[in-house]
Amino acid sequence: MSIQEIQDEIVEEFSLFDDWMERYEYIIELGKTLPLIDEKHKTEENIITGCQSKVWVYGEQKGGRIVFTADSDAILTKGIIAILIRSFSNQKPSDILDANNDFIDKIGLKEHLSPTRANGLVSMIKKIKIYALGFTSKN
């Protein structure tokens, strides 16, 4: 499945909820499905800066695709990173770099987060793209 197809699927899922309390609950549920980062990768190098909670993201290349794992000490943030991992994990680095992230605006996520969480969201995307860039330059 392409990044765009996954993101369209996420937009469709969020459209099923009438209000933001239901959407927050759904985000928290998604956090429970997050592929968790191995404890050995919970390092300063993998921590997201600019986020009020602690968030770690780790990517490794497997067969030309990047597989991401992550964790957070906050349940809502765990759900947010789960959405991003779902979008970008198991994708080619070039596809991650070329991806349009307007699905975040389509689901209204950024506008319904506190400024520090919205900054954290941007930092999470940046970290994922940095991994993609790093793996692109190694090929």
Give the CA angle between residues 62, 26, 71 to the nearest 5°.
Answer: 40
Helix, strand, coil percentages in the chain from 3-state DSSP, rounded to 5: 60, 15, 25
Could you give the CA distance from residue 45 to residue 116 in angstroms, rounded to a whole number? 20
Could you give the CA distance from residue 49 to residue 115 in angstroms, rounded to a whole number? 14
Cβ partners under 8 Å of residue 102, min gap 6: none
Tokens at 75, concatenated:
């349940």
Question: Annotated catalytic, 51?
Answer: yes
Could you give the CA distance from residue 30 to residue 53 in angstroms, rounded to a whole number? 17
Catalytic residue among 3, 30, 51, 81: 51
Catalytic residues: 51
